[in-house]
Structure 1
């Protein structure tokens, strides 16, 4: 007999384009929160990279 606490946990993640029909409303909200967190992480990294590029561009700007 297998008890709920012994079952392996589903990995938390999201595959783009996966079937959402089997998910509950609560699971969908959790997935939305997960994706919003990932978007924030991506935007923060993009900001760091853009700042680094601006710094490099200003440092290597040709002097006239």
Structure 2
């Protein structure tokens, strides 16, 4: 998949910049820290999604016909 199709069209979009960043100058230790940070962000986003789904289900049940 092409990055241009996957990410926002805004040139300053942080996710797009992150994915296009040159990793060559980074050490193995820096790359491992980067992975830890990204995995933490994934956990945070998944928790947000879970909360939103739970909230939506509760709202659907409350306003169910």
The verdict on a shared fold, with TM-score over 0.5 as the criterion, is yes
Number of residue equivalences: 49
Q: CA RMSD in A?
A: 1.3
TM-score if structure 1 supplies the norm length? 0.72
**After TM superposition, where is structure 1 displaced by more than 4 Å over at least 4 residues in a row?**
none
Q: CA deviation at 1:19?
A: 0.6
Separation in 1, partners of 2:20, 2:53? 29
Q: Does residue 51 of the first structure (1) align with residue 54 of the second (2)?
A: yes
Separation in 2, partners of 1:17, 1:61? 45
Pair member with larger Rg: 1
Give unmatched runs, 5+ long, in structure 2. 1-16
Separation in 1, partners of 2:63, 2:39? 36
TM-score if structure 2 supplies the norm length? 0.71
Of Structure 1 and Structure 2, the greater helix share is in 2
- Which has the higher relative contact order, 1 or 2, with Cα contacts under 8 A spaced 6 or more apart? 1
Partner of 1:4: none
